Amino acid sequence: MCKIVDLLTNKEIGRGHERGGLYVVSSSGSTPTILSISSETWHYRLSHPSPTVFKHLSPILGCSPFNDLCHFCHISKQTCLPFPTHYTSTTACFELIHVDIWGKYSTPTRTNHCYFL
């Protein structure tokens, strides 16, 4: 005989018996734990599936379809973030320069520099 106990609540959640060196757990009439998980939690656990995909999964998961607006889904599906409302304006050439930095190079220059603009 084998008892399966929840370590947090110390409540028995299942029983089984040994057959051929293995424990066979008998099914009980209790509600499976999977049904107590909210659709929002499943949405997060399944890497934010679309409402159409979740509609097909919800009967298998035993929860209602997730139709709420998810902040992370909304942000991740944007192709780019909006441009900032401010910008720097100049009146003369080379007043403002955009450059890239390259490095760290493994061999330093003669002046012992490892980064380049």
Spans of all domains in the chain = 1-28, 31-67
Report the C-alpha gap between 25 and 8 in whole angstroms: 21
Report the C-alpha gap between 33 and 30 in whole angstroms: 9
**pTM of the full structure:** 0.39
Dihedral over Cα of 64, 68, 72, 76: its sign:
positive
Report the C-alpha gap between 115 and 102 in whole angstroms: 6
Tens digit of each residue's pLDDT (9 = 90 or more) over 41-84 = 888 888 888 888 888 888 888 788 887 878 888 777 766 667 77
Identify which has the larger pLDDT, 29 or 115. 115
Cα atoms in the Cβ-side hemisphere of radius 13 Å centred on 107: 1
